[in-house]
């Protein structure tokens, strides 16, 4: 076999190259596309949630195809407990609620099916913890711009929030 072809084939399928595509800190479990289309239908049907308010939403915008993360605070001002069960972005095809956990000095992140927001409380999505992972941007995004982030709740209502696109160095809102 031609050595160069062999090398190219090896690189194309090596796990290291695949991991690099998502960025070293972004190795996470992915769900099938079927979940995304189900979520889209649920968002389209959902009415607006008037009990829950989402504030201080910002995105740590990373270059190229590296996934970005959205952070915000969810205030449940109602009498009923609720939970965030999905998210949708106006500018990304692949959006997932994630939680970063730390164990034995390593950090891992994965999909979280439900984030409880008890009545009368506020839950922070912050660097190093809960976040919404944004992948596959559907349009060019620039620092200083904004996106619309929708959150879907357990009672199948939703909120719509404007999020500011910030530099990768940003640590908090």
Chain residues that interact with Cu ion, rule: CB under 5 A? 98, 109, 133
Min. distance of Cβ 149 from Cu ion in angstroms? 14
Which one, 46 or 60, has the nearer CB to Cu ion? Answer: 60
Q: Do 157 and 49 touch, CB atoms closer than 8 A?
A: yes
Cα 16 off chain centre by: 23
Q: Compute CA distances 131 → 69, 71, 100, whole Å.
A: 6, 6, 8
Min. distance of Cβ 56 from Cu ion in angstroms? 19
Which one, 109 or 163, has the nearer CB to Cu ion? Answer: 109
Return the residue nearest Cu ion (CB atom).
98
Cβ neighbours of 46 (radius 10 Å) = 19
Min. distance of Cβ 132 from Cu ion in angstroms? 8
Helix (H) / strand (E) element for 54: namely: strand 52-60
DSSP state of 155: T
Which one, 109 or 147, has the nearer CB to Cu ion? Answer: 109
Min. distance of Cβ 99 from Cu ion in angstroms? 8
Q: Do 72 and 163 touch, CB atoms closer than 8 A?
A: yes
Which one, 95 or 133, has the nearer CB to Cu ion? Answer: 133
Min. distance of Cβ 98 from Cu ion in angstroms? 3
Which one, 46 or 147, has the nearer CB to Cu ion? Answer: 147
**Dihedral, 47, 51, 56, 60 alpha carbons, nearest 10:** -50
């Amino acid at each position: 076999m031609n050595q160069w072809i062999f090398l190219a084939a090896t690189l194309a399928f090596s796990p290291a190259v695949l991991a690099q595509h998502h960025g070293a800190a972004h190795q996470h479990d992915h769900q099938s596309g079927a979940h995304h289309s189900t979520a889209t239908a649920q968002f389209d049907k959902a009415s607006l949630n008037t009990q829950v308010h989402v504030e201080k939403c910002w995105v740590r915008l990373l270059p190229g195809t590296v996934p970005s993360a959205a952070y915000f605070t969810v205030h449940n001002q109602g009498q009923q407990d609720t939970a965030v069960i999905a998210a949708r972005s106006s500018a990304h095809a692949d959006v997932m609620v994630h939680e970063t956990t730390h164990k034995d000095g390593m950090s891992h992140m994965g999909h979280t099916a439900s984030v409880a927001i008890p009545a009368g409380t506020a839950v922070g999505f912050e660097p190093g913890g809960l976040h919404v992972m944004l992948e596959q941007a559907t349009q060019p995004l620039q620092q200083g711009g904004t996106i619309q982030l929708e959150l879907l709740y357990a009672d199948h209502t939703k909120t719509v929030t404007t999020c500011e696109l910030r530099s990768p160095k940003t640590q908090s809102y």
